[in-house]
Structure 1
Amino acid sequence: MWGIGVTAAMVITEFTEVGISIILKAAMTRGLSQFVYIVYSNALAIPILLPSSFILYRKRPLPQLTVSILFRIFLLALVSCAVQLFMFTGMRYSSPVLSTAMNDLTPAFTFLLAIISSMEKLDFRLQGSQAKSIGTILSVAGALIVTLYKGQPLTGVPSQNNLIHESLQLFPSNWVFGGILCAAGTLCLALLFIVQTWILKDYPSELMITLICCIFMTVLSASVSLFAERDPNAWILKPDIELIAIGSSAVFSVSLRNVVHTWACGEKGPLYTAMFKPLGMIIAIFLGISFLGDTLYLGSVIGGIVIALGFYTVIWGKAQEEERMGEEKGISKFESNSHKVPLLENRSVDV
């Protein structure tokens, strides 16, 4: 049941994240600075998370917050700040296309870091490990197909005002520098999932972790943004799409998404959480076709099928590993009990 709940929560989170990214792109076209956006969205999330934490832990025991845990959460905030700064700045210097393509490499980076940190076991003699490896490769390949290969249009007529085409013309193009920043952001995102899982092992409190991390994030991002954004007028928000972007991001991205991602990392591991990143591209295509009248291309269909195959292959591999771990625990428990039986029998004979 928990597996279904985590999957449903992750899919819903990806839907909301795609919607917010569309709003954010519209706000950035009207002059919203990425530095201002990061500071305000994190700061606004604090008064949302604080009463929620008070209500949740009013009758529940809160795990002890040690200096070691506090340092880990600070490290999490540092990595999260790096993710946002690298990705948004990289998008501005290159394009959303390149940023999306780099973001789709998150499962591969997460898989490698999880193996290095011993959070994922890789034994090619086991079907579970084989499935996770193949599924990760398929998901990354499918995401790159969707991003880089368009193919023939299958529905409608190609629009001359394509959103991606417009986005390419909005910002100055420096693909090398922008690509390096996006790649660094993707690597930091994979590291973020690893750190979240590391913290949850000793401090199983998703909401409190998110709250403390958000406080650190506000301080860190403000320190960088006040230096990077020197224009005082950029910090004055207009009551239009800019305010909507920051408000929706504070509620759904900073608050809800971070809590769900932390929970998913604790329940299923960092690789499982990262596997939903390529799924976000399919959701974006679906929403674009359904509500914006975008054209469906052959590359999107092929890439979507490959992503789905990769996603379900990893899920099947994780299920095989969990089943095998359950069987091993059952066998070890049975063996430990069986060793006690002869002692009881000998005592009865002696009596």
Structure 2
Amino acid sequence: MEKVKITSLRGWAKMLGAVICITGSLVFTFWKGGYLFQSIESRPLININSTKGSAGEYRHGKENWIKGSALILTSNIAGSASLILQGVVIAALVYYLQTWCISHNGPVFAAMFTPLQVVFVGIFSAIAFAERIHLGSMIGTGLIVLGLYCVLWGKRQDENAAKQPDEGKGIGDNRTLEISMDDYALANPDPSERK
């Protein structure tokens, strides 16, 4: 849907920016080697691993079966409500915002922010799960942001070029101004000025 003029700098910026964004997201996802940066949090905010020993140390008591059944029932109800909330409310809000963004700025603007989701997930896992960030993740983030700005710069230049009048038209739009000799003769009644 996007028109790219290959002979212009703005067209090359859009194409190169898209390639840089894709490369950055691949680097962020797959390059896990190299230096590990210190985590933002010393302890995870959400602990998915138990710190009380191995799973074999837990004992099941008969006195907890009522509490366990109630928790399973509550979990199933909450899970069902969460799925309905995500299928209806959140999806509708996301589609509305995407449609609004596409109608105001075009499809490229909305699509180019998709690689930033990978960056947001990495930042969230560094905060919530105290994961250490790899050098590849930092380089990938830089490439994603660089590619995003290249595409947005090219898109902005396209919009500016569309607003500027083409050279040689003089009026600034496609209308032409016609003046007949009869109108000129009425405006200048002296016959010596009609030459």
Superposition TM-score, scaled by structure 2 size: 0.68
Q: CA deviation at 1:238?
A: 2.1
CA contact (8 A) 1:265 1:272 kept: yes
Aligned to 1:328, what secondary structure does the other structure show? Answer: coil
The Cα offsets for residues 181-223 of structure 1, whole Å up to 9 and x where unpaired, read as xxxxxxxxxxxxxxxxxxxxxxxxxxxxxxxxxxxxxxxxxxx
Matched, 1:279 2:116: yes
Residue 178 (structure 2) pairs with residue 296 (structure 1): no
More helix, by proportion? 1
Aligned length: 156
| Distance change (3 Å), C-alpha of 1:331 and 1:313 | farther
Say whether the 8 Å CA contact 1:150–1:299 is kept in structure 2.
yes
Partner SS state of residue 124, structure 1: coil
Give the percent of matched residue pairs that are identical in Structure 1 and Structure 2. Answer: 25
In the alignment, is residue 248 of structure 1 matched against residue 130 of structure 2?
Answer: no
Q: Measured at CA, do residues 308 and 239 of structure 1 come closer, stay the same or move farther in structure 2, by a change above 3 Å?
A: same
1:153 correspondence with 2:31: no
Q: Is the 8 A contact 1:278 1:307 kept in 2?
A: yes
Letter paired with 1:256: L
2:134 matched to 1:134?
A: no
Q: Kindly indicate whether the alpha-carbon contact (under 8 Å) linking 1:155 and 1:297 is maintained by their aligned counterparts in 2.
A: no
Report deviation, 1:328.
3.0
Name whichever of 314-323 and 259-268 sits farther off.
259-268
1:348 and 2:184 correspond: no
What residue is the counterpart of 1:11 in the other structure? none
Name which one, 1 or 2, has greater alpha-carbon Rg. Answer: 2
Residue 336 of structure 1 and its aligned partner are, at CA, apart by 5.5
* Contact 2:5 2:11 (8 Å CA) reproduced: yes
2:189 and 2:111 mapped to 1: Cα distance?
Answer: 60
Q: Equivalent residue of 2:164, what SS?
A: helix
How many angstroms apart in 1 are the aligned matches of 2:180 and 2:26?
A: 62
Higher RCO (CA < 8 A, seq sep 6+): 2
Letter in 1 for 2:32: K
1:229 maps to: none
SS at match of 2:38: coil
Contact 2:166/2:172 (<8 A) preserved: no
Aligned partner of 2:187: which letter? S
CA shift in 2, pair 1:295/1:133, >3 Å: same
The aligned counterpart of 1:210 is none
Aligned to 2:25: 143
Q: Any gaps of 5 or more consecutive residues in structure 2?
A: 49-74, 191-195
Shift, 1:280, TM fit = 0.4
The 5-angstrom pairing of residues 1-351 of structure 1 reads 114=1, 120-151=2-33, 152-156=35-39, 238-252=76-90, 254-328=91-165, 334=171, 339-340=176-177, 342-343=179-180, 346=184, 347-349=186-188
Q: Secondary structure of 1:150's match?
A: coil
Specify whether residues 239 and 312 from structure 1 end up closer, same or farther in structure 2 by C-alpha distance, changes over 3 A only.
same
In structure 2, relative to structure 1, the CA distance for the partners of 1:317 and 1:331 (3 Å cut) is farther
- Specify the code of the residue in structure 1 equivalent to 2:12: Q
